[in-house]
Chain A
Amino acid sequence: MWIENARKILPAWAKNGGDQTDVVLASRARLARNLQDLSFPGHASEATMKEVLRRVEQAVNAIRADHSPLKLTRMEDLPLLERQILVEKHLVSPQHIERPQHRAVILNADESVSTMVNEEDHLRIQAILPGQQISEATAAADKMDDLLEERLDYAFHEEKGYLTACPTNTGTGMRVSVMVHLPALSMIDQTRRLLSALSQIGLNVRGIYGEGSEAYGDIYQISNQMSLGRTEEEILYNLQTACAQLVESERTARDAIVRDSKLQVEDKVWRAFGTLSQARLLTSEEALRLTSDVKLGTDLQIIPDMKSIYLKELLFVTSPGILQKIIGREMSPGERDQYRAMLVRDLVNPNK
């Protein structure tokens, strides 16, 4: 029962779809934009932030009248838990909910495109889609940008391009990224070498929880470093090429481990499955690590008939805010571990 309810709030990126889903979990494109003649949010007065919000709201109302349904939600109108859930759905950043005053998010119908208002920049337009859909995500963000830009005057400089609060985003204001799952490469100790090669060609590599975080569950985020001096197409192409190579390497590594150490891989996968299907307490890190192994098992068809378990779905329902939403009340971390284990058991043994 709860599974159906949880699926109703699943964000677009956590659902099925896209290409190369055995390796690429999700694709994201982000554009940073600011309004002309108004201070950036980090340096703005309350009145300026209000004015930004007023202009953006006006633009959104006009877009809504002509086009698709868009919904603008003010952060301060949301209870804490709902804000937390927006973060866990990757629709807003953790910084965006810390100080909710004069901050907002604009969502489209399926929540694949979200725009933060008054985050580090006046506008942070973002599109996340499942699987390898970098160009689709870029196109979606670009379309939202066009709609807003028709009605708002952006801070733009002939030579510097789109002006942003942080100089690392100046120019195109564009950051594209893919979330990839590389368990086989990490088993044969090749991730570090590959990922450092990526940084040589201007790509950034981070763990799943952002800057400097460990790569729990062998999940990595790869994104472009530079935003100035190259076109959007060039930035996109660079990431697409690197992503294709990563997918190729990971698949080769999976073939190799199945060929050379089939029994060890099977053992690892089934142990993970055993724990997930029986555990009474699960921290989010452990759940993520084990789910990563089980996902490898389903991709390699070691575990047959496992259609009901998906890494992203499990990732999603086991995050603290979502978990409390599903259970319907606030919980202590210890209680969360207990309920997390319960939900995971339900997901893994659907016919129980």
Chain B
Amino acid sequence: MLCEECHKRQAVVHFTKIVNNEKTDYHFCEECARQKSEELGLIMKPHYTMQNFFTGLLGADTENVFVTQPDYDTYKCNSCGLTFTDFRRTGRLGCGSCYEAFNDSLDPLLRRMHGASKHTGKVPKRTGGTLRVRHEIEALRGKLAEAIRMEEYEQAARLRDQIRELEKDQA
């Protein structure tokens, strides 16, 4: 089932709100649920994780809101079919696209594991796109600043030319 708000991502948060005996069902993806929560009179905790997200939902308005467990079986990667339940059980992803599909949950996990979530290392030539060149330009800029600081102006001029050359190639 798709999220009723963005119609793009899988709906993983399903809940029913009852006000004056009028029942409304909601089906959102995690991201939209977070955004809609205020509107629906729910309080989100500042440090958002899957777990405290749901306790936050429950705690805010327990009388009116019924929260079912997120439907991990339908929260899945469309490329390889791996569900989030599978990932939680094995700790292994199914394919490269899983990283996009489960990004909302994976990003905080990667931060906890590595203390970072952005790659700064090697970039493959074939599938790295322009990132390789951008990393190189960044590194050269660092060297340029250093050369200027050390008043090595000839070196700085050479570096500036190299940067221009790379930027031209990219454009």
Contacts and interface: CB of A to CB of B under 8 A. Distances in A.
Q: Do A and B bind each other?
A: yes
Interface of A: 34, 36-40, 42-43, 120, 142, 145, 149-150, 152-168, 170-172, 174, 226-232
A160 B110 contact: yes
Given A149-B126, A153-B127, A163 B96 contact: yes
Nearest to B122: A232
B92 to A, nearest CB: 5
Interface residues of B, number: 33
Contact of A157 (B80, B82, B99, B121): B99
Contacts of B92: 40, 42-43, 120, 165-166
Contacts of B80: 39, 43
Contact of A227 (B106, B114, B126, B129): B114
B99 A172 contact: no
Interface string B77-111: 00110100010001111111001000000100110
B46 interface: no
A228 B116 contact: yes
A318 B120 CA distance: 43
Contact of B94 (A40, A167, A228, A230): A40
A149 B128 CA distance: 11
Name A's interface SS. loop
Contacts of A172: 119, 121-122
A157 B125 contact: no
Q: For the complex of A and B, list the 5 residue pairs with the smallest distance between their C-beta atoms, beginning with the closest.
A: A229-B116, A161-B119, A155-B96, A43-B94, A228-B114
Given A159-B119, A231-B120, A167 B131 contact: no
A3 B165 CA distance: 60
B122 A154 contact: no
Given A40-B94, A167-B109, A231-B120, A153 B126 contact: yes
B118 interface: yes
B87 to A, nearest CB: 9
Contacts of A150: 125-126
